[in-house]
Structure 1
């Protein structure tokens, strides 16, 4: 019987997940399909039960359902518990387990860019993505992780949860040269006229500046970082690696992530550079 998988979200038409997973199914001769399911918030429970009744083998969860899906699931992985968010669901019979692969996906992308990365890390933002990345960095052995956010109290709450540090945006701006890695996790940058989440005037040349946004491939934040002599990393690697981890959980197969990064980079109008 043909297996099927899905991604649910609102909106969902922009998602590249169906393209990516269908490519992987084809490459590995897996008889399966992956479809986008537009799910408005009031429909979430109905859609979840319908997919389970129809025999779905697993699905991804994107905005705005990463927290709302949790009460519907039978089990949560420890990472999903720590992050209070789920982006991947697996099935064991009818029983469901929620996972979050976002943070680990980002760390895989980061380490692919520079395997020997060390030093102090600054995370800009305190939302779900920042939370996942911060916990994944700690799990991967990064001891010095600092959180900054427009609303400082939220930065403090995340820092306290992960035994990290919190600084105001102003203090972060003035001390940027202390950080070897700066990670931008907010939605600022999806539009050209939104500006930057913080000033990069004090960033040191050679610092690795990462943005989790992948469309556009080069955000205003990355452009400003490059102008300061920083090395840059866009969000396409995080997107591919988080999807690969989900694919591995569903199928037991590890897909070719480097090839997919190339395909999606070129699909989005960029030029692929072998890292």
Structure 2
């Protein structure tokens, strides 16, 4: 018999709340990092059924979990059960990372930070003084828009069918940062011009995923410029139809798998105070993408 002593009374507890949760790759990311940094900690998936979120959060707090992640569908609804929330997460309207600080639960959003890290690493480019076309106006688009402002973009143009959702993001940015964003509908005659003058184009819509494999955002046949940088937050499939169109024009492209890894790395850093070397993040990405 082999005696296993990896978990003991001093082991710090972490996890992820979601519904469903079976697909999550977060345990691999965090348990690998705990092992790499020789930390006595363990990370587990926690399936929280509809209507049980408040009880789940109270339970994690009572059991003195050191921190946890939050995934769909609870990134917004978690906020009312937390004691504190970071300014960025408040503006983004969503929390995906929670840290237990002396018995108080504080919420953060690392999704956008994960995106920025992966974009810079994968495409070897910055956002400073560049125009960005943001496709979609959901929670991910809102988080990225707030983060992009802090990266000194020149302007953000949001493309979305539902005007109110897009205008909510535009007004949020204007009220906090000035006239840095605008909105355009996907059927506008001006869209082709907006596409051509944008240096960076980001898809946050579900077009290209599973049941939408043959779709592009808003079912548009995009015409790109080879100097554009095109990012799709979707990571399965590896190349959406949208990315394949961009690649055919010679654009640099990137899917969202690195965003997934780096949001986890950022959460780990918030919880532990450890800094994950860039090379380790790249190694994690390479291992998980095989």
TM-score of the pair, normalised by structure 1: 0.92
After superposition, the Cα gap between the structure-2 partners of 1:267 and 1:247, relative to the gap in structure 1 and judged at 3 Å, is closer
C-alpha offsets along residues 173-209 of structure 1, whole Å, 9 cap, x if unaligned? Answer: 4121111110001122112534111424322122111
After superposition, the Cα gap between the structure-2 partners of 1:236 and 1:257, relative to the gap in structure 1 and judged at 3 Å, is farther
C-alpha offsets along residues 215-235 of structure 1, whole Å, 9 cap, x if unaligned? Answer: 222222211211122110111
Q: Is 1:224 the counterpart of 2:245 in the alignment?
A: yes
Query: Who is 1:29 aligned against?
Result: 38
Give the Cα–Cα distance (whole angstroms) in 1 for the partners of residues 126 and 53 of structure 2: 42
Consecutive unaligned residues of structure 2, counting only runs of 5 or more, are 1-9, 175-180
Deviation at 1:15, TM superposition (A): 0.9
Deviation at 1:106, TM superposition (A): 1.0
Q: Which aligned pairs between 1:132-211 and structure 2 lie closer than 5 A?
A: 132-163=143-174, 164-171=181-188, 173-175=191-193, 176-191=195-210, 193-198=213-218, 199-211=220-232
SS in 1 for 2:76: coil
Give the Cα–Cα distance (whole angstroms) in 2 for the partners of residues 124 and 242 of structure 1: 21
Give the Cα–Cα distance (whole angstroms) in 1 for the partners of residues 243 and 286 of structure 2: 16
After superposition, the Cα gap between the structure-2 partners of 1:114 and 1:214, relative to the gap in structure 1 and judged at 3 Å, is same
Larger deviation, residues 115-124 vs 40-49: 115-124
Give the Cα–Cα distance (whole angstroms) in 2 for the partners of residues 106 and 193 of structure 1: 22
After superposition, the Cα gap between the structure-2 partners of 1:174 and 1:228, relative to the gap in structure 1 and judged at 3 Å, is same
After superposition, the Cα gap between the structure-2 partners of 1:174 and 1:214, relative to the gap in structure 1 and judged at 3 Å, is same
Q: Is 1:215 the counterpart of 2:225 in the alignment?
A: no
Given that 2:82 and 2:105 are in contact with CA atoms closer than 8 Å, whether structure 1 keeps it comes out as yes
Give the Cα–Cα distance (whole angstroms) in 2 for the partners of residues 20 and 93 of structure 1: 25
Deviation at 1:131, TM superposition (A): 0.4
Query: Who is 2:77 aligned against?
Result: 68
Given that 1:236 and 1:261 are in contact with CA atoms closer than 8 Å, whether structure 2 keeps it comes out as no
SS in 2 for 1:42: coil
After superposition, the Cα gap between the structure-2 partners of 1:93 and 1:252, relative to the gap in structure 1 and judged at 3 Å, is same
Runs of 4+ residues deviating >6 angstroms: none
Give the Cα–Cα distance (whole angstroms) in 1 for the partners of residues 146 and 39 of structure 2: 33
Query: Who is 2:260 aligned against?
Result: 239
Aligned-CA RMSD value: 1.7
How many residue pairs end up in the alignment?
269
Give the Cα–Cα distance (whole angstroms) in 1 for the partners of residues 95 and 285 of structure 2: 24
Larger deviation, residues 200-209 vs 246-255: 200-209
SS in 2 for 1:7: strand
Q: Which aligned pairs between 1:38-117 and structure 2 lie closer than 5 A?
A: 38-112=47-121, 113-117=123-127
SS in 2 for 1:158: helix
Query: Who is 1:272 aligned against?
Result: none
